[in-house]
Amino acid sequence: MKALVIEKPYDATVKDVPYPKPASDEITIKVENIGICGTDIHIFQGEFLSPYPIIPGHEFSGTVYEIGENVQGFEAGDRGTADPSLFCGHCEFCLTNRGNQCENWGAIGNTVDGSMAEYVKVPSKNVVKIPDSMSFAEAAFIEPMACVVHGMNRLQLQVGDRVILFGAGAMGQQLVQSVKMAGASEIVVVDISQNKLDMAFEWGATKGVLSKNIGTELSEEKYPNGFDVVIDATGIPDVIEQAFDYMGKTATYLQFGVTPKNAKVEIDPFKLYNQDWTILGTMAINHTFLPAFQWVKNERIDLKPIISKEISLEQTIDFLKGPKDSNDLKVQIKI
């Protein structure tokens, strides 16, 4: 079969690789759509936890192609997607509902071969059937939506909270919709793209600020008390340091964007202590794939406008190399 393989950092190729035949309790899916995640770019750049060579891709959908032994409830042709999480199920963290911190953590497309290929094999317990009313493109969005659900569970937003969000990309657009539904009274969004800010406004943002104008638009005179909640969805260290400037007293900070693994930022520890700040991280998915599926299935989140374009496997190599179009939201691969 044809697959995109990252041989080592900054070295990717599309080539023929062996078909992933399912073992017992596994299903092989014929891939239709794959979302390109920021994590995939970090893997390409050697900034994540992945081994090499690896087939990336953890946001995907398709149809059941082959079923391994002991698999029940599925048949060839079923439309579906899959939670990429590979939790061991028996370590201390798995047994205390912290699977995303599993001592033996793994994920399809991150630690084992993923979906940027014609076929991908997955544990049958991870597969979720999708209704005919849901497109393959939307189904490939369930994994990133599951990341948002976990982030929202971590955040525990209070009704009436005033929120500032840095980054209005695909994840930022989902966060805007989710934060609005959770009851935020004000949602200020900061980005380099006016188009992205305009879209965020459609979802419920109350103010959009171009990053170059942040000093005047969000001055201390205009926002003397800062914000109750600060969220970074960029993963850019310089942006993260700037984001802490907008923390109000007793504010909560959520690091949603994935940073390079060796990145560093500075924070004022006196303010952390003196102003009762709470700082949270949110790592991938934590048993939130099914709740995200329900949100998408019941159209609580609008995903179609967030898909900027579809490209081929071959075109994906140039996309990973960059540069990126600042107006792109979610780019998907179509097999």
- Which three-class secondary structure state does DSSP give residue 334? strand
Q: What is the pLDDT of residue 324?
A: 85
- Count of residues in the chain: 335
pLDDT digits (tens, 9 = 90+) for 146-190: 999 999 999 999 999 999 999 999 999 999 999 999 999 999 999
Please give the share of the chain, as a percent, with pLDDT higher than 70: 100
Considering the entire predicted model, what is its pTM? 0.94
Could you tell me the two tokens for 68? 């391994």
Q: What is the mean pLDDT of residues 238-265?
A: 95
Sign of CA dihedral 115, 117, 119, 120: negative
Sign of CA dihedral 100, 242, 157, 331: negative
Q: What is the mean pLDDT of residues 231-248?
A: 97
Q: What is the mean pLDDT of residues 219-243?
A: 96
Could you tell me the two tokens for 153? 């569970």
- Residue 306: name the closest of 211, 206, 178, 203 by CA: 203
Q: What is the pLDDT of residue 260?
A: 85
- Examine the pLDDT at 63 and tell me if it is beyond 90: yes
Report the C-alpha gap between 200 and 17 in whole angstroms: 41
Provide the pLDDT confidence category of residue 297 given band limits of 50, 70 and 90: very high
